[in-house]
Amino acid sequence: MACTPMNVGGLQVIVCSRGTKRERCQVPGCSRWCVALCDYELSVPLARGVRPGTSEKTRSAVKDLNTPKTCDIRLCAVHKWAIPGSEDRDLCPAHAKMHKAKAAATTSAGHSRGILGAISQRALAGMLPGDDE
């Protein structure tokens, strides 16, 4: 039985319980304790507005469709990957791989635009070989 000392309203109390239900990591082959959930936002189809006279049940269903959903796979400390530059956002291995690939593609596209931009500026200025004619 686990007991935890707590301060409740200025009184020192001891709360005992059988413990909290702890979940296991959901990455295949892992049995470590869960410490985080995957925060990757899943694409959700946006529902259109509802017409006047629509039932409350339908309105709540449409509202649920518009709320963002996340992957929420349980992750242990080994398998969670913190998104650089964001606070308290973690990804599972599959979504971390997707995030890294997307970041690499964005970075490489940015560099190629910079090079092409410099080449086009030279061409406009007549600085490329063969433009001297």
State residue 8's pLDDT score.
83
The total of other beta-carbon atoms located within 10 Å of residue 123's CB is 11
Token look-up 């998104």 returns 83
State residue 131's pLDDT score.
47
Residues of the chain with pLDDT under 70: 1-2, 19-20, 44-54, 58-67, 109-133
Measured distance CA(26)–CA(60) in Å, rounded: 31
State residue 133's pLDDT score.
46
Backbone angles phi, psi at 58, to 5 degrees: -65, -40
Provide the β-strand partners of residue 127: none
Domain positions in the chain are 22-125
CA atoms within 13 A on the CB side of 30: 19
State residue 22's pLDDT score.
81
